[in-house]
Amino acid sequence: MQQTMTQEKIDLCISQDEEAQQVRAARTDPQAFGQLYNRYAPSIYRYLLSRLGNVEEAKDVTSQTFLTAFEAFPRYQHHGYFSAWLFSIARSKYVDYLRKARNRPELLDEGDQVNREDPLQRVVETERVGELKKCIQALPDEEQELLRLRYVAGLSFAEVASLLKKKEDAVKKSVYRLLARLQSQLEV
């Protein structure tokens, strides 16, 4: 599992040039789109799972995201990051899903807690995660989205900035200020 996560992180850390080469290859060979799928599907899925809180729903919306991307791919103009384009589709599919489902998702699932052998450590960890969850849920949607895109989906600051149509430095400052604010809230 650790090796898979490490490999996944490595796969996401490619240059814009490498990404552009993969996009060009996928334009001439539809099967090459599968490489783009393999690269980005895990992070799209994690992002959607964090929004929906349900494995099956996240899988379904991830599938819808890539089906839409594949169908729209001939019209895609490669400027910036392909991942930002994919995440814009995923966000749109998430909103569509919410319109249909009419439910409010949770940012963190209780099952995400770390299972420790020491019962006291488990209690402390559970309380700490609960406090963090409350702090995050109290944030405005835009700030929750920043956390999801950066830490759940694993997007770089540049990719988040491209997706949100903001400057990279502004995104970095926002994230770091947000983390400092959350940390100070947890220390109180």
pLDDT in tens, 140-181: 999 999 988 888 888 889 989 988 999 999 999 999 999 899
Question: What pLDDT score does 126 carry?
Answer: 76
| Exposure class string for 95-134: b at 16+ Cβ within 10 A, else e | eebeeeeeeebbbbeeeeeeeeeeeeeeeeeeeeeeebbe
Within this chain, do residues 146 and 93 fall inside the same structural domain, yes or no? no
Q: Per-residue pLDDT tens for 67-125?
A: 999 899 888 887 778 888 999 999 999 999 988 876 444 444 444 444 445 677 777 77
Q: How far is CA 82 from CA 27, 64, 88, 109, 183, in A?
A: 13, 17, 10, 29, 33
**99 vs 90, 92, 102, CA distance in Å?**
14, 11, 6
Percent of the chain at pLDDT > 90 equals 30
Task: Identify whether residues 84 and 2 lie together within a single domain.
Answer: yes
pLDDT at residue 64 is higher than 90:
yes
Domain of residue 34: give its range.
Answer: 1-105
Q: What pLDDT sits at residue 14? A: 66
Task: Answer whether residue 111 is part of any domain.
Answer: no
Arithmetic mean of pLDDT, 2-6: 41
Domain contains 13: yes
Question: At which of 52, 84, 105 does a domain end?
Answer: 105
Residue with tokens 């995104």, as numbered in its chain: 171
Query: Within this chain, do residues 94 and 123 fall inside the same structural domain, yes or no?
Result: no
Per-residue pLDDT at 154: 85
Find the CATH number of the domain harbouring 181.
Answer: 1.10.10.10
Tell me the mean pLDDT in the region 27-32. Answer: 84
Q: What one-character-per-residue DSSP string does 43-93 give?
A: HHHHHHHHHH--HHHHHHHHHHHHHHHHHHGGG----S-HHHHHHHHHHHH
**pLDDT (average), residues 31-49:** 91
pLDDT category at 131 given cuts 50, 70, 90 is confident
Assess if residue 101 is contained within a domain: yes
pLDDT at residue 4 is higher than 80: no
Tell me what pLDDT residue 109 has: 46
